[in-house]
Amino acid sequence: MIPDSEVRLTQMTKTAGCAAKIGPGTLAGILDSLPKFQDPALMVGIETSDDGAIYRVNDEVALIQTLDFFTPVVDDPYVFGQVAAANALSDIYAMGGEPKIALNIVAWPNCVNPEILGRILQGGASKVLEAGAVLAGGHSIQDDEPKYGLSVTGFVHPDKVFKNSGAKPGDVLILTKPLGTGIINTAVKADMASEEAKEEVVRVMTTLNKKAKQIIEHYDVHGCTDVTGFGLAGHGAEMAEGSNVTLEISAKDLPVQKEAFSLAQMGLIPEGAYKNRYYTENKVDYGETEEYFRDIFCDPQTSGGLLVSVSPEDAKRIAEDFKAASMETDWAVIGRVVEREEKLVKLR
């Protein structure tokens, strides 16, 4: 068994967090081969690449089901558990719901002290508790690389579902967390990130999207998704395609974590960013933006923020509410929605 003092979770994996996702292009090809399931109660399935599935129970209640797990993005077991749980819970918030039941998903090497796994589970449980949900079991397997996450069930009123396919021309786009977690985590793994950058990326990844969701649900949300492994480029393109619109995004207005720009310029780019770049190359018009902006735009986020499409009037009110609520992470108005053009997303 590996001595506890020598265990560095991030060194036990090839890729970290949501950067470990299968590339969106590969995944799309696999999903296209699956049979098409039909059920009149299924409100949201896989067709629009939304954040979870929604099944209408009755006229007052719809069930949201999601699942998410990944490899360690930090070495601290407790913090890794918090990050993975916050990331999984985010899908429920991104669809306008409240999480209610969570199940652990665990893969663990036999050569590592199980007490470390216990700390991971404690970290995850702390975020489930913060979300107001119940942790009710789970499943584990032996694996050479550690992995952890949650399957989460939530509830939402059928008339108050957030979808990623309802953005309208004239809408304003809001992003509720700063970009750069993939780049920062790559630097952390290479021992090239400052303590300040490490602290910021942990704060961003462990912050629930609960407060943001509870604010925006009071307004007419036309489109919403959380920005995770496919980056802002990939998830933005999914929203644009599902809504049959184009998203115009201002590079200078993007909220970005400290040091992400300088680290991107040094070439500390996660593999997932290149996969996202390749997948979206025919969907995104980058204009004259610098290369490092493009890398950040494609950077796979772990436990990222919500991308929200609302009217200009509601955007102003939401901004006021965000300021009054003292949000834990940076947020920004990043662009607007226009009529469908040749490209799904334009970065300027």
Token readout for 10 is: 């991030």
Residue type, position 300, single letter: P
- Active-site residue among 18, 111, 224, 298? 18
- 341's enclosing H/E stretch is none
Backbone angles phi, psi at 116, to 5 degrees: -70, -40
- Give the span between the Cα atoms of 295 and 260, in whole angstroms: 10
Report in angstroms the alpha-carbon separations of 153 from 134, 138, 200: 10, 13, 29
- Give the span between the Cα atoms of 128 and 199, in whole angstroms: 22
147-156 vs 62-70, strand pairing mode: antiparallel
SS3 326: coil
Q: 3-state SS of 19-84?
A: HHCCCHHHHHHHHHCCCCCCCCCEEECCCCCCCCEEEECCCCCEEEEEEEEECCCCCCHHHHHHHH
- Give the span between the Cα atoms of 263 and 254, in whole angstroms: 16
Clarify whether 18 is annotated catalytic.
yes
List the catalytic residues: 18
